[in-house]
Amino acid sequence: MITIEALPAAHGDCLWVEWDDGPHQRRMLIDGGPGSTRSLPVGLAARFARQPEDQREFELVVCSHIDDDHIVGLLPLLTAPPKGLHVCEVWFNALEHTGPWDTLGVRSAERLTQVLHEGRFPWNTDTGGGPIVVPEKGPPTFPLRGLTLTLLSPRYKQLTALRTDWHKKTAVRSERDVLGGSAVPTAFDMRYLRELAARPYEADRTAANGSSIAFLAEHPDGSRVLFAADAHADVLVQSLHRLWHGNGYPVSLVKAPHHGSAHNVSAGLVAAVACGDWLFSTNGGRGHGARTRAGLSTHPTPEAVARILLRNGPAEDDSREPHTTFWFNHLTPSTERYAHPSLATLGLRTEYPKPGTDGIRVTVSEGRVVRGDGD
């Protein structure tokens, strides 16, 4: 059994993952979300407050890539660790993993690199200190106690692109529209879903997202979760095809790449997996409130939603049986709009945090996905 808590992380990712290993409970943390470099983000701090001090051992802490909505929350975690924290391994691809260190980069990434160089936490020891990367021979596997990880992203090409782009990155955010997609209509029907899905696909080409550490986690009970970070869809598809030699790789749950962006959820990706449960970690994206009022796109985007539903849905237009479930860690206008009755008639079921709360816990047991206890 694998339990995934998508902690409240605004427009970012912070995933607290636990699984059973015989009588033992193991855990890992994937990203820290946005926030302050001096104190834990609210959602992560609250989760640690609920965790007994003698149960704060993490098999793995992953910083998927250098974007601030993934990396910043890890800085206070590792610079001023909560009492009882023990980390067996950290995965993080720094600039030194893309070539010689001779350019400046994102401040948060450089600070994390400095912290890890201090030697308090094992860093990329699974690869002998080298990069966490998919080699040409195909996706490698990494055994944890009670769980097996299969790396899907990045490849060397994406790390090389990151090196080229690194010196351009700063903590200053661009105002350009990086969300992709169009505004969500007031209602959906099958014709409109097909129109959305048929729109030209413009792939994400940002170097930081392309460098994302993404992987499959497989439990002995047969549960399989794809943690896609912000990875490029074509890289994920290439790795999945190396594992399955075609489309339809069985996955219990997919954490949607890049919060459900139209640039990262491609028709090819949704075809590559056979999965009816998708987890979205997002409040809609940076500036989602103003964007919604202005009729602009927010996460998750309509094109991404349409691609998933058409992949999972029956050929006929009038089926009312649910075939896809979206799990959201925030209830905002950007996410709540997908609970529209017109989408329910097209086979979509939506799950949100309990009223007055943020964050959601899902449990995957023998391949079946349900709400976690207490949600």
Token pair recorded at residue 150: 């299969």
CA distance 333 to 372: 24
Chain-centre distance of CA 244, in angstroms?
Answer: 22
Average pLDDT over residues 92-120: 78
Whether pTM exceeds 0.75: yes
Q: What is the pLDDT of residue 187?
A: 75
- Cβ–Cβ contacts within 10 Å for residue 130, how many? 12
CA-based nearest residue to 226, from 254, 258, 249, 248: 254
Residue 106: pLDDT over 80: no
Question: What digits encode the pLDDT tens for the residues 281-336?
Answer: 999 866 655 665 555 568 899 999 999 999 998 655 555 678 999 999 999 989 99
Q: What is the pLDDT of residue 297?
A: 65
Q: What is the pLDDT of residue 108?
A: 86
Q: DSSP assignment, residue 54?
A: G
CA distance 358 to 335: 12
As its CATH architecture, domain 2-371 has: 4-Layer Sandwich (3.60)
CA distance 278 to 357: 20
Average pLDDT over residues 359-364: 97
Q: CB–CB of 336/358 below 8 Å? A: no
Residue 340: pLDDT over 50: yes
CA-based nearest residue to 105, from 174, 170, 173: 170
Among residues of the chain, what percentage have pLDDT more than 90? 76
How confident is the prediction for the chain on average, in pLDDT?
A: 89
Alpha helices by DSSP H, 190-229: 190-198, 207-210
**Residue 188 — very low, low, confident or very high, per pLDDT cuts 50/70/90?**
confident
CA distance 298 to 276: 22
**Residue 47 — very low, low, confident or very high, per pLDDT cuts 50/70/90?**
very high
Q: DSSP assignment, residue 155?
A: B
In terms of DSSP bridges, do strands 368-371 and 15-21 run parallel, antiparallel, or are they unpaired? unpaired
CA-based nearest residue to 126, from 152, 144, 102, 111: 144
Residue 102: pLDDT over 50: no
Buried b (16+ CB within 10 A) or exposed e, 363-372: bbbeeebeee
Average pLDDT over residues 205-211: 94
CA-based nearest residue to 188, from 313, 86, 294: 313
Q: CB–CB of 154/91 below 8 Å? A: no
Helix (H) / strand (E) element for 370: namely strand 368-371
Fill in the amino acid letter for 20.
D
Token pair recorded at residue 270: 């949704």
Token pair recorded at residue 297: 């796109």
How far CA 195 is from CA of 188, 189, 307, in Å, comes to 11, 10, 10
Residue with tokens 């902690």: 7
**Residue 368 — very low, low, confident or very high, per pLDDT cuts 50/70/90?**
very high
Residue 184: pLDDT over 80: no
